[in-house]
Structure formats: structure tokens, C-alpha cells
Amino acid sequence: MGEASRDEYKIQSFDAETQQLLKTALKDPGTVDLEKVANVIVDHSLQDCVFSKEAGRMCYAIIQAESKQAGQSVFRRGLLDRLQREYQAREQLRARSLQSWVCYVTFICNIFDYLRVNNMPMLALVNPVYDCLFQLAQPESLSREEEVDCLVLQLHRVGEQLEKMNGQRMDELFVLIRDGFLLPLGLSSLGRLLLLEMIEFRAAGWKTTPAAHKYYYSEVSD
């Protein structure tokens, strides 16, 4: 499936009016309210974790289209402003809805993965992404399988990039993850397996060795 058709497919989860707004933003961004578009995408990402995993590609496409058409960055500015507001209210978001919190972390990591400045990850997102991952590595978060799963998935996706941007914080994060792995209570057997796999994944240079793949993924399927 091509990039354009994948974006078209993701748009199908919106109502008809919003679908039209997003299609126009992708093809002719100068004719729509791009701050509204940014808010629509963030709102939907907080409600739909499947969409939040892929929304970064759509955001990247709109940013590219706006830059090419008008040489501006209204959409990117609106998107980052909204991400910052949600980041500042992240504790309330997590207390209100665990699903929305997991969707938010997935979304901000996806944006970090896709958005580039001079072919480098956005520096402004490094610490917010780390802060979210640190929250997921706290003992109370590790007692919830959804948060363990989110932590591991996001580290698979952006861990190597994050470490290049700030290696010290990654070392500190993995101290928490190792401590979490040794927790006597609260961590499920699947959670323990996922954390151990992540510890070994990083130790192997952010790669899964064939032996590790065979061991962990046969365990998960069992």
C-alpha cells in the first residue's frame, strides 16, 4: 500500500466532514485552518490507539505539503503547542483515563519518530518523550500491563534515536527498568518477560538477536 493510500485508509476512521478537512489539508493545506487540523488529529489520537500509532506519518505529510506550498509551518507549530499542553497536563490525563494516556505516549513517540529538523529528531521533544517513558517505568505503572506494553513498544520504536540524543537519560531509564524487573510483586510474568527482552535488546545495540527472537516470541505465543 502506497503512502497516499495509507493516509486515505487512516482518514476513514473520521466522520465525513473531518475526512474532507484532512484530505484538503494533505492536498491543499493553504485553504484550511491548520491549527484546527492539528487539534483534530491530537483529539483523535487520544481516543484511538490504533490511529495514534500511525498519525505521525499523516502529520509529516501535512507539514511537507504546507512547506512546499507556502513555505510556512502553521500546522507544525499548532501540533507542537497542543502536544506541549497535553504534556503539561499528563498526570491529570493519566489519572482520568489510562487508555488516553497510553495513546498520548504512543502519539508523541510517533511524532518524535517522524518529524525532523535538518534530518535530525526534534530536540524540543527529547525530554518530554523521556519524561513519559520514565513515568511508564515507575513501579505503579509497571503493575499495569498496558503501560508495560506501551513502554516496550515505544523503546523498540524510538529508543535508539533517543539514546543518541541523550545517553545519560537512557542509562537512568534502564536503571528503573532493571529495578522494575526485580520487583517482587506487581509485575506479571508477561511484563517481566517484556522488560527482560528490552534490557537484552538494548544491550545488543538495539537489535534482536535470532536466539533472543526465538526465545521471547515463542514464550509470548505460548
What's the average model confidence in pLDDT over 116-123?
86
- pLDDT value, residue 215: 60
- pLDDT value, residue 1: 42
- pLDDT value, residue 7: 52
DSSP 29: G
Structural domain spans, the chain? 19-117, 123-217
pLDDT, mean over the chain: 89
What's the average model confidence in pLDDT over 89-110?
97
Q: Using one digit for the tens of pLDDT, what is the confidence trace for 22-32?
A: 999 999 999 99
In the predicted model, is pLDDT for residue 119 greater than 70?
yes
- The fold adopted by the segment(s) 19-117 is 1.25.40
> In this structure, how many other beta carbons lie within 10 angstroms of the beta carbon of residue 94?
19
Q: Which three cell numbers stand for residue 36?
A: 484546527
- pLDDT value, residue 209: 72
Q: What is the percent of the chain with per-residue pLDDT over 90, rounded to a whole number?
A: 75
List the Cα angle 24/29/33 in 5-degree steps: 90
Stronger pLDDT, 80 or 184, i.e. the higher one? 80
In the predicted model, is pLDDT for residue 126 greater than 50?
yes
How many angstroms separate the CA atoms of 113 and 148, rounded? 20
19-117 and 123-217 in the same fold: yes
- pLDDT value, residue 9: 47
Considering just the CA atoms, what is the radius of gyration of the chain in Å? 18
Q: Using one digit for the tens of pLDDT, what is the confidence trace for 133-148?
A: 999 999 999 999 999 9
Stronger pLDDT, 217 or 71, i.e. the higher one? 71
- pLDDT value, residue 219: 53
pLDDT range class, residue 210, cuts 50, 70, 90 = confident
- The fold adopted by the segment(s) 123-217 is 1.25.40
pTM: predicted TM-score of the whole model, two decimal places: 0.88
